[in-house]
Amino acid sequence: MNVLVAGGAGYIGSHTVKRLKEAGHQPVIYDNLSRGHRAVVDILKVPSVQADLNDRATLTKALRDHRIDTVMHFAAYAYVGESVEKPLLYYQNNVATTINVLQAMAESNVGRFVFSSTCATYGDPDVIPITEEEKKSPVSPYGRSKWMVEQILQDQAVADKNFRFAALRYFNASGCAMDGTLGEDHDPETHLIPVVLQAILGVRPKITVFGTDYPTKDGTNVRDYIHVDDLADAHIAAMERLEAGRPIVCNLGTGRGFSVKEIIQTCEQVSGKKVPVEYGARRAGDAIALYADPSRAKQLLGWEAKYKDPQQIIQSAWNWFSKHPKGYAR
């Protein structure tokens, strides 16, 4: 299929472009490079359009010129803290812009859409592991923006019987391409694994662990870490299974949770180096434990995570970060 990958120069988008190529599809990167990387476009060597998703004329032209069959949407802003400080920015970029994409798709007769959603739609869940039936009670503008888009997609599918979509709610994206060609480069970086590896490499002076008194096995938060290649493969599986009248909505995770301390210890084992750590108080809003029940993804997509051992995930990240301690361009 011809696939327009919005946000294809970013972290998850770029890995999905790579996996699409390897699966025999024809991806096209669409990215304004505000948070993506020019280096990614050069590495992947696929057609690309540098433009904003709000640019209806350019977007529509790209859909038509490349005869796009499916749009994959990774072009959201994704910092929870920033969303609290700048909610209008998040509703504009994550919600209004997505509406523009859907309108351009309708004008261009493109009816297949795979949406990068998030476990943040659940907020603080009552039951762990989290199933898709868990209440939707997001606690940040980021989480609310994703949940709003999911509801918009449901409404559009009712209005347009030819519109097909998947909304994939995933947990902690992590790791880098197994062959070392692509990595993770955010500014600022907030994900635990790259922050720990940057501390090991001296890019940052230390890592702070927020809270050691949680009711977990070692007192630190527990999260579900899913390898970015597994995420990419799930998006492709969803795309290939889209059917009219049968939206795909499912969690993407490993079904296992690992604590902050366990991730730090594994980073030390993989790198052979100690992590400079300081311990601080809990952060407001941090959940005790979040991990997925991924059984619906297996049922609907025939998919499950290949990389469930954090050592494999962290080894893939270390392979890249040890060669690119300051990211693609630095």
Write out pLDDT tens, residues 127-151.
999 999 999 999 999 999 999 999 9
Question: What is the structure's pLDDT at 287?
Answer: 85
Tell whether 16 is covered by a domain: yes
Average pLDDT over residues 173-177: 98
% the chain with pLDDT above 70: 100
Tell whether 147 is covered by a domain: yes
Tell whether 330 is covered by a domain: no
Tell whether 79 is covered by a domain: yes
**Predicted confidence band at 286 (pLDDT cuts at 50, 70, 90)?**
confident
By the 8 A CB rule, do 111 and 160 touch? yes
Question: What is the structure's pLDDT at 330?
Answer: 60
Question: What is the structure's pLDDT at 90?
Answer: 98
Average pLDDT over residues 76-92: 96
Q: What is the CATH number of the domain that holds 125?
A: 3.40.50.720
pLDDT for residue 284 is more than 80 = no
Total of domains in the chain: 1
What is the model's pTM?
0.97
Contacts of 110 (CB under 8 A, 6+ apart): 63, 68, 69, 70, 71
- Average pLDDT value over all residues in the chain: 96
Tell whether 309 is covered by a domain: no
Tell whether 297 is covered by a domain: no
Which residue from 295, 316, 318, 315 is spatially nearest to 305, judged by alpha carbons? 295
pLDDT digits (tens, 9 = 90+) for 97-124: 999 999 999 999 999 999 999 999 999 8
Question: What is the structure's pLDDT at 169?
Answer: 98
Question: What is the structure's pLDDT at 291?
Answer: 95
First vs last C-alpha separation in the chain = 35
**Predicted confidence band at 246 (pLDDT cuts at 50, 70, 90)?**
very high
Average pLDDT over residues 90-96: 98
Catalytic residue, from 30, 90, 142, 291: name it: 142
Find the range with the poorest average confidence among 12-21, 90-99, 277-286, 311-320: 277-286
Which residue from 282, 254, 292 is spatially nearest to 122, judged by alpha carbons? 292
Give Cα separations from 274 to 193, 250, 311 (angstroms).
14, 38, 16
Tell whether 316 is covered by a domain: no
pLDDT for residue 209 is more than 80 = yes
Tell whether 179 is covered by a domain: no
Structure tokens belonging to residue 31: 């990215």
The yes-or-no answer on residue 11 being catalytic is no
Average pLDDT over residues 306-319: 97
% the chain with pLDDT above 90: 96
Domain that holds residue 36: 2-174+225-252
